[in-house]
Amino acid sequence: MLSIVRIREVADSQMLAWGASLVTINDTTLVALRHWGWNVTQHLLTIARGVVK
């Protein structure tokens, strides 16, 4: 249980790091990567929350 919560914390901070690093650069490729990273993160968080429930 604690490990799942920890994974969620890491995933959240990872998402913020993604956003912070990519927001500073206006590049079409990085914007696409950002969307991809966001979608993957959302899927992982959804799975993690499902496991917690």
Mean pLDDT per 10-residue segment, the chain (53 residues): 71 72 60 75 83 71
pTM of the model: 0.33
Q: What is the pLDDT of residue 50?
A: 84
Q: What is the pLDDT of residue 1?
A: 56
How many residues are recorded in the chain? 53
Q: What is the pLDDT of residue 48?
A: 82
- Token pair, residue 32, equals 């696409």
List b or e across 42-53, with b for residues whose CB sees 16 or more CB atoms inside 10 angstroms.
eeeeeeeeeeee
Q: What is the pLDDT of residue 14?
A: 75
